Structure 1
Amino acid sequence: MRETLLLGSNSSSYLYKHKHTLKINMEEKSLLTWRQFAWIQNKLNFIHQRLHVEHLKKHFSLNFHKQTLTENNEIFYQWLVGFTDGDGTFSIVNQNNKWSLTYKLSQNTYNLRVLHFIKKQLKVGSIYIETGGKQGHYRIRDLTTLESVIFPIFDKYPLLTTKQFNYMKFKEAYKILSNSSLSKLEKDNLINKIVSSKPTENYISPIWSIVNNEITDFKTASTVMSKPWLVGFTEAEGSFYLVKKSDKRLVHGFEITQKLDKIVLTAIKYLLGIKTTVKITKSGTFSLVTTNSRAIENIIKYLKNTMKGMKSVEYRIWSRSFIKHKGDFEKLEKIRSDVRIMRLKTNTLLNMNYTKEV
C-alpha cells in the first residue's frame, strides 16, 4: 500500500532544517531455574497493582498537554515504557567469561536529541555513537542503577509487548548475579537457562489478562494502554508518510508495524479511531495502516503537542501539509521532493560531522 515515505519511518533520516537542527550535540532472570517462568509476585498481585494505576493513567491522559513529559514523572515513565516497547532492549551477555546486563535504547543519530532527553530525565546512563555516526545508543549497565532507577519504573508500568518476557528474564538474571551465596558456576548455569528460554509463539504480556487478552473497543483498549505509553510507542515505531494513489493524487498515511503482539496494534486501532483491521504483511509482520481522512484527523488531534524527538518535527510537517494542502497534488509533491533532497543532504552532513567527532 505504501509506495513512498514522506518521513517518519523507523529508518528515516530526515532532519528538519531550523536553527538548532544542524548543531551536533556530543555531550551528552527470584531465580529462574528449571521451573516455568515466575511473574511479578503472583498474578493476582500483578493485576491488583495495575488496576491501582488505572486512576492515575486516566488522569495523565486527560492532562497530557497541561502536564508535559518534563513536568510529571509518572507521565514520563509511561512514555518511556512505550518508547522501550518500541525501540528498547534488555540484554544479557557473557563476554570474556563475565556476565553483563544492559538496558538500551537505540536511535538514528538524526534523532539523538530524544536520547539526550531521556538521559536528562533519568539523570543516569550514558550515550554513545557507533563508529560511522549512523546509530546512537542510550544505555545503563550498572547493576545498582538498574535496581534503583529502571526496575521501579518497569515494575510499576509493565511493558505491553513481548519485551515484558525479556524484561522478566533480565530481572531474574540480575537477582542471580546479585546473590552472593551462589558460586560462579551456579550463576553461569542458572543464567544460561534464562538466556535459552523463549516466549511461546502466541505470547501476550500478562498485563492484557486484565481484559482477558481481548480488545473489542475503546474502553478495553484504554483500560490497559495509556496515552503517554502510546505517544512513546508512536515516537519509536510510528510512520507518517505520503502515498501516491494515482498519477495526480497523493494522500496522507500513518502506519505502525510489529513482528509480534497483534493485540497491541488492535488497541492502538481503537484508541486512534482507525477503522481498518490489523493485517499480516507478506513478510509475516502485523501492520496497522490507514489513509482514511477521518482517521488521519483523529491521529493529528491525538498526537498534537506530545512528542519530544525528531518524530515531533516529522509529525508537524505531515499534519500541517494535511491541514493546508490536502488534495493539492502539486503542493504535496513539492513537499515530498523537498524532503527527499533534505534527507540526502542531512545524512551527508551528519555522517561528516560524526566521523570528525568520533
Structure 2
Amino acid sequence: MRETLLLGSNCSLLFFTVEKILQTWRLSACNNFKLIYFLLFNFNFNINLLLHQRLNVRHLNFNSFKEFNINKRGLTENQEIFNQWLVGFTDGDGTFNVSYSNNKWNLAFQIGQNSYNLRVLHFIKKQLKVGSIFVEKDGNMAVFRIRDRKVLENIIFPIFDKYTLLTTKQFNYIKFKNCHTILSNNDLTKEDKDKLLFNILKTKPSTDYISSAWSIVDNNVFNFETASKVMSKSWLIGFTEAEGSFYLVNKTTNRIVHGFEITQKLDKIVLIAIKHILGFNNKIQIKKTGYFSISTTNSRAIENIIKYYNNTMKGMKSVEYRIWARSYVKHKGDFFNLNEIRKKIRLFRLKRFTLSCMNPSEYFINKKIK
C-alpha cells in the first residue's frame, strides 16, 4: 500500500510538493503530466490536511469507511468492501446479458468502460481472479466479461445475493439468475428451456420499479439515517466511479467554479439517497433528455464531497478527483489557473489504452502526451 503523508515532520514536504505541482502548470504539457501523474500515483496525499489548512469549516459526520488496503499482490485485504464497491459500480456501468444466437443461449456478466479507464477493469479482474477483458477494434471501449456459468454461480451470484443492487438492474439480475437456473436444469428439454427463456426475456420492469433493497425503509428516503440504512459508502464510491462527474464550469465569463453531478435515467430514489448522504440542499432535477440529475456547485457541498471521497476510488476517476480537489484548495476563485487545469484534464481524458498497457499511470510518466 502506498504511504500516506501525515502531519508533523512530513507536513512541510506535503505542502512543498503540492506547490511544485501547481508551479509546473506553466511548463510543457508533457512535463506537466509526467510530474503530476508521478506524484498522484506514488504519493497518496490526504486531501483533508490541505482542506483544513485552508478552510476552518465543520463537515458532516459521514459514516465510517475503511479504504481498500491493497497487498503486494495487488489484491484487496477486505473482500466485503470490494464486493459492495463492485455492486455499486455494476449499478452504474454493469449489465447482465442473456442472448440467443446460432440456436444457443449465452449468459454474460459485463462491465463496460471507455478504454481511458482500462485500469479499473484490470482492478476488478484481479480482485475476482476470473473473467476476461476485451478492447474493441476502434480502441474506444473495453469490456470485462464473465460467461462461464459455473463461475457465475460460484463467484458472481454470492456477491449480488448478499448485496442487493439498488437500481433497476436488480430486476435484470433476477431475470439473469432465473435464466441461469433454467439452463442448468437437466430435467428440461431444449424446447422447454427455449420457451421459458423467451418468456423471461419479454418481461420488463415497470416505470416506477424500485429495487427490493429499499423495502427496509418502506421505499421512503427522507434523511441521512434512512439513506445510509440502504446505501453503504462502499456502494456509493463504486457508483460514483461509474456515474459521477467532478468538473470545472463557468459560472460567468470570468469565473470558474467546482461542480459535482450524478445522473440516472431511472431510480430517482437512488439520487435522493445520495443527496442526503452527501448533504446537498438541491432538489433532484429532470433534464431535457428525461434523465434525473443531482448536482451542486455550492462551496460547502463541494467541501463535503472532497472529504467524503478522499483516499477511496480506484479507477481514473480517482485521478480526476485528486486534481479537482487540489485545485479547489489551492486555486478556488483563480480563473486563469482553473481554466488551464480544465484544459489539461480534457486533454488527458482523450487518451486511450490497449491491453498491452497494463498500468496506465506508468504510461503518463514514461510517454509523451501529444
TM-score of the pair, normalised by structure 2: 0.77
Report 1:235-254 matches (<5 A): 235-254=241-260
Task: Tell me the residue number matched to 1:25.
Answer: none
Q: Could you tell me which of 199, 205, 208 is aligned with 2:205?
A: 199
Task: Tell me the residue number matched to 1:162.
Answer: 168
Report 1:100-139 matches (<5 A): 100-139=106-145
Question: 1:258-315: per-residue Cα shift (whole Å, max 9, x none)?
Answer: 0000000000001111110111111111000100010000011000000001000000
Report 1:281-300 matches (<5 A): 281-300=287-306
Give me the whole-angstrom Cα distance separating, in 1, the residues matched to 2:192 and 2:184: 12
Structure 2 stretches of 5 or more lacking a match? Answer: 1-31, 39-61, 358-370
Deviation, 1:153, is 0.2
Deviation, 1:70, is 1.2
Consecutive aligned runs of 4 or more in structure 1 exceeding 6 Å deviation: 19-22
Task: Tell me the residue number matched to 1:261.
Answer: 267
Task: Tell me the residue number matched to 1:336.
Answer: 342
Q: Percent identity?
A: 62
Amino acid aligned to 2:64: L
Task: Tell me the residue number matched to 1:214.
Answer: 220
Deviation, 1:67, is 5.1
Task: Tell me the residue number matched to 1:303.
Answer: 309
Please state whether the residue corresponding to 1:245 is helix, strand or coil: strand
Give me the whole-angstrom Cα distance separating, in 2, the residues matched to 1:106 and 1:66: 22
Amino acid aligned to 1:126: S
Structure 1 stretches of 5 or more lacking a match? Answer: 1-15, 23-59
Give me the whole-angstrom Cα distance separating, in 2, the residues matched to 1:323 and 1:285: 31
Q: Please, what is the CA RMSD of the aligned residues?
A: 2.2
Seen in structure 2, the aligned counterparts of structure 1 residues 96 and 20 have a Cα distance that, compared at 3 Å, is: farther
Deviation, 1:65, is 3.2
Give me the whole-angstrom Cα distance separating, in 2, the residues matched to 1:76 and 1:226: 12
Give me the whole-angstrom Cα distance separating, in 1, the residues matched to 2:81 and 2:33: 29
1:276 matched to 2:276? The reply is: no
Seen in structure 2, the aligned counterparts of structure 1 residues 342 and 232 have a Cα distance that, compared at 3 Å, is: closer
Give me the whole-angstrom Cα distance separating, in 2, the residues matched to 1:220 and 1:291: 25
Deviation, 1:343, is 4.1
Deviation, 1:340, is 3.3
1:140 matched to 2:142? The reply is: no
Q: Bigger CA drift: 64-73 or 208-217?
A: 64-73
Give me the whole-angstrom Cα distance separating, in 1, the residues matched to 2:253 and 2:99: 51
Task: Tell me the residue number matched to 2:231.
Answer: 225
TM-score of the pair, normalised by structure 1: 0.80
Question: 1:74-97: per-residue Cα shift (whole Å, max 9, x none)?
Answer: 000000000000000000000111
Q: Tell me the matched-pair count.
A: 299
Task: Tell me the residue number matched to 1:29.
Answer: none
Deviation, 1:338, is 2.5
Task: Tell me the residue number matched to 1:52.
Answer: none
1:98 matched to 2:104? The reply is: yes
Question: 1:1-36: per-residue Cα shift (whole Å, max 9, x none)?
Answer: xxxxxxxxxxxxxxx9448979xxxxxxxxxxxxxx
1:322 matched to 2:324? The reply is: no
Question: 1:220-262: per-residue Cα shift (whole Å, max 9, x none)?
Answer: 0000000000000000000011110111110000000000000
Deviation, 1:210, is 0.6
- Does structure 2 conserve the Cα–Cα contact (< 8 Å) formed by 1:61 and 1:228? no
Tell me: higher relative CO, structure 1 or 2? Use CA pairs within 8 A at least 6 residues apart: 1
